[in-house]
Amino acid sequence: MIPRYTSADMGALRTEQARFEAMLEVELCVLEAQGAIGMVPKSAAPAVRKKAKINVKRINAIEKRTNHDVIAFIESIEEQVPQYGRYLHFGLTSSDVLDTALGYLMKQATLILIDDLKTFNKALASQARKHRKTLTIGRTHGVHAEPTTFGMKLAVFYDEFKRHEQRLKDALVEISVGSISGAVGTFASLPPNIERAVCRKLGIKPAPIATQVIQRERHAAYLNTIALIGASLEKLAVEIRHLQRSEVREAEEPFGKGQKGSSAMPHKKNPITCERVTGLSRVLRGNAMAALENVALWHERDISHSSVERVILPDSTIILNNMLRSMTRIMSGLVVHKDRMKANLNSTGGVVYSGQVLLALMKQGLTRTKAYEMVQRCALKAWHENGELIDMLVDDEEIGKYLSPEELKKILDPKNHLKHIDTIFKRVGL
């Protein structure tokens, strides 16, 4: 992933240095476990741990000859500890080291993402509570529907992202696994207790069964979870982008001091961060599809998944990390224009309360079809003549037979749409 979208903490897990250090830690844990049961000298592990260092340049130089990065890595360590070099990688196959190191790193990356998601949801919850009773117009098909509140809009997202928190926690369990079971996974060259000891030290769990590789449906499920979280972030970003349009102008992402919106038009304040989130979510979905393609490998192993994962796994965690932190900043500093919300709510002359009038007429004994026809007549007249619905309803002789002007005013009171807001918020834990 390019540096533009890479944070320091997530990026530190995704360097070649970090990858080889994780591989070395796996090898060291194996040596320690083997030493404990006499498979190798007990002195091997502490000696290697003390002297072995990762030198990426040296590994890359060796790989030019071997055309095998794991062998190059092992040879580079052997050079540093010639007395114990022959015990390195004893009874292992490359995937033991690669997949176990991957599980170790993926756990650390996912813990960062879980913290990011919790922080984002706190910012979302704060804005939802703040605007719990801030009336605004609800839109269906992009057209004014009925009043809602801006807080309720955000509460819907809060509830969605709480579900994502659980999904990501479940994905953490599924991805935090290792396998030290040798070629084709039969433990023919080392006993299963080595695997248990290694995984315990690394803070992950052994895969119950593996071939030569850990099965890739785990990784596909993980990246689909990440893509799903990205899709919800995109949904929120698109909502803000719509609300920031000049014709709407109800909310906008923060615009910093000294920030510039356009090279040509000084007046511009564009939703660039929300647009970036929208774009990056597309990359996450593409990566999730690539992960699905990795599930079907030949027999007990091939490496068609390897090249793909070198790109999609680091990039997806880096991208989601960037998206979550970007949206946290937006939600924390979100600019909300209550005056514009009120103006837009009132801009159609009260026709958005037509549904309440419909129900009131039905309560008077009218059929839905008849009541609908009567209210629609008044609503369309108000719409086309830029008038007020209340005036059209009061002037309508047929409606006057059932509802008085005083009753109509009560029916058209926007506060009617607030009466159950507190109950809704309690249902989602806000």
Catalytic site positions: 141, 262
Q: How far apart are CA 375 and CA 256, in angstroms?
A: 47
Of 295, 293, 290, nearest to 311 (Cα)? 290
Residues 6+ apart with CB under 8 A from 187: 181, 195
Q: For tokens 């030493």, name the residue.
A: 35
Express the helix, strand and coil content of the chain in percent, nearest 5 each.
65, 5, 30
Give, in order, the Cα–Cα distances in Å from 357 to each of 148, 224, 285, 377, 402: 17, 45, 44, 12, 11
Element (H, E) at 140: strand 135-140
Please say whether the beta carbons of 138 and 148 come within 8 A.
Answer: yes
Following DSSP, what letter does each residue of 55-96 receive, concatenated?
-HHHHHHHHHHHS-HHHHHHHHHHHH-TTTGGGTTTT--HHH
Q: How far apart are CA 170 and CA 258, in angstroms?
A: 42
Give, in order, the Cα–Cα distances in Å from 369 to each of 145, 225, 247, 363: 19, 45, 35, 13
**Beta-carbon count within 10 A of 427 CB:** 11
Residues 6+ apart with CB under 8 A from 259: none
Q: Which two tokens stand for residue 161?
A: 């992202």
Please name the amino acid found at residue 22.
A
